[in-house]
Amino acid sequence: MGTWSRELPDLDPLKEQVLARMGRIVQHVSGTRAENVAAVDMTMWQYKTLVILRKQGPPYEASPSGLADSLGLTRGAMSTRIQQLEDLGWVSRRHVEPDRRRVTVTLTDAGHAVVEKHLAAEEHRERGVLAVLSKREQEQLAGLLRRVLVEIERSSAKPERRD
């Protein structure tokens, strides 16, 4: 802290410690996740798409537009990616009756198996990150981070226009 205080006296050293450590933890977890996904010839977008479908619960399906919104993609980009996942046998598409213009993307048994395998390994690794803390400390940390995040989201929310 001495260097921070001496060289940058206007910066709050405690704030710098907290934010720098949060950033390093995120880098560590993200890097490990990306390495493990790449080790089995899967891309992060493929993994994220399968996880989104898995989180839906049975029957593990979503609309292409819902997936695109969740991943921050255009509808066209999502369509291309769905085709790639379909080619791998991890998802299937079907037209919704009676309209047939609507499409549903469903996690296949093969896709379910792939994502479950990765989620189990990820859960084990990520629990290790927090293992140094007791259950109570983890709950306290989660609560504190939630408060910070709620305030960030509240203060960055754009006011609704009233025309």
* Backbone dihedral angles phi then psi of residue 130, each to the nearest 5 degrees: -95, 0
Q: Could you report the per-residue pLDDT of 114-144, keeping only the tens digit for each?
A: 999 888 888 888 888 999 999 999 999 999 9
| Predicted pLDDT of residue 9 | 79
Task: Count Cβ atoms within 10 A of the Cβ of residue 91 and give its class: 0-12 exposed, 13-18 middle, 19 or more buried.
Answer: buried
Task: Count Cβ atoms within 10 A of the Cβ of residue 115 and give its class: 0-12 exposed, 13-18 middle, 19 or more buried.
Answer: buried
- Is residue 67 within 8 A of residue 49, CB to CB? The reply is yes
| Predicted pLDDT of residue 38 | 80
Q: Give the pLDDT band (50/70/90) at residue 161.
A: low
- Asked if the model's pLDDT at residue 108 lies above 80, the reply is yes
- Is residue 45 within 8 A of residue 71, CB to CB? The reply is yes
Structure tokens at 46: 């493929």
CA-based nearest residue to 19, from 27, 10, 8, 7:
27
CA-based nearest residue to 106, from 145, 59, 155, 151:
59
| Predicted pLDDT of residue 54 | 95
Domains and CATH numbers, the chain: 43-152 (1.10.10.10)
Q: How many helices (H) and strands (E) does the chain have?
A: 7, 3
Helix, strand or coil for residue 62? strand
- Asked if the model's pLDDT at residue 37 lies above 90, the reply is no
pTM of the model: 0.72
Q: Give the pLDDT band (50/70/90) at residue 80.
A: very high
Q: Which residue has the tokens 């469903």?
A: 106
- Asked if the model's pLDDT at residue 14 lies above 90, the reply is no
DSSP states along 99-149: T-S-EEEEE-HHHHHHHHHHHHHHHHHHHHHHTTS-HHHHHHHHHHHHHHH
Structure tokens at 88: 């791998």
